[in-house]
Structure 1
């Protein structure tokens, strides 16, 4: 049974890896605020359903950010790169651009607060022991399986 991780977990893992030891994992904290469920009820095929999207404000607090060793613009670029690569159509879903606050703690470090809007799909797949009762069956939250065509046959009829 596969499980998904949230976009917030993904961006935090990305930042820790990208900052490559400049910050410790225990110096980054994150939470979600002002969430909204957008009900979808979309059949994804393979018995999977997109039941909702979870739109929320994500707050990432980075303590002891070494602003003299790591240019803060690198951090800004990392956040933007993640959001661009995430594949979300930010304009289509009305997701705001990130906001960042930097609080200098000392000559050597700062606390950085990154606030960004994210959206996660909430998909269900059948599971006889799943916790979610839906359409008369039991399901668990996971990405719905997707079949991707490996071959395509195209017939071209009479060209003039």
Structure 2
């Protein structure tokens, strides 16, 4: 094997979904028209050794709420918003069924002929992982760590050698 490429995601599922929504709905929707938060979470303990001295200590399963203020429902078809959320969740390939994550619930409240308030509630899950750090705030397994997703080494190429008949 040759050099490995270190890749890892540092944003939560909720941050990634919000960025996807903003990118998909620009220029009509601006960052100040959207708010998001986590509530009613469950910490699912793991302790899984991820290699490279990293550990997954838990999964954080939570209810996410995304609120659109002044959503221009006459300029953007609300079904486009529903499709964008659905597309993100399907493309993310997160095993929603395996972890029992509920499907999104959407509440659309038409405030005026031009604007609506839209609340999207859905369950998401993030991995809580630790990597070694001598000054890290987390003491675990006899060492000091900081919260960060453990890097995943992905081979860029593989050298195969064929053995001759013996």
Question: If the length of structure 1 is used for normalisation, what is the TM-score?
Answer: 0.92
In structure 2, list runs of 5 or more residues that go unmatched.
1-7
Structure 1 runs (4+) deviating above 6 angstroms are: none
Aligned position for 1:51: 57
Which one of 18, 29, 32 corresponds to residue 23 of structure 1? 29
Following the alignment from structure 2 to structure 1, what is the Cα–Cα distance between the partners of residues 144 and 9? Answer: 16
Following the alignment from structure 2 to structure 1, what is the Cα–Cα distance between the partners of residues 119 and 164? Answer: 59
Aligned position for 1:79: 85
Following the alignment from structure 1 to structure 2, what is the Cα–Cα distance between the partners of residues 86 and 35? Answer: 20
The answer to whether the 8 A contact 1:35-1:57 is kept is yes
User: Number of matched residues?
Assistant: 157
Deviation of 1:87 (Å): 2.2
Does the residue aligned with 2:38 lie in a helix, a strand or coil?
strand
Does the residue aligned with 2:114 lie in a helix, a strand or coil?
coil
Following the alignment from structure 1 to structure 2, what is the Cα–Cα distance between the partners of residues 72 and 20? Answer: 14
Following the alignment from structure 1 to structure 2, what is the Cα–Cα distance between the partners of residues 120 and 155? Answer: 42
Q: Deviations over 1:28-55 (max 9, x none)?
A: 1111111000001100000110110000
Is 2:20 aligned against 1:14?
A: yes
Which one of 142, 151, 164 corresponds to residue 145 of structure 1? 151
Aligned position for 2:4: none
Which one of 86, 89, 97 corresponds to residue 91 of structure 1? 97
The answer to whether the 8 A contact 1:105-1:111 is kept is yes
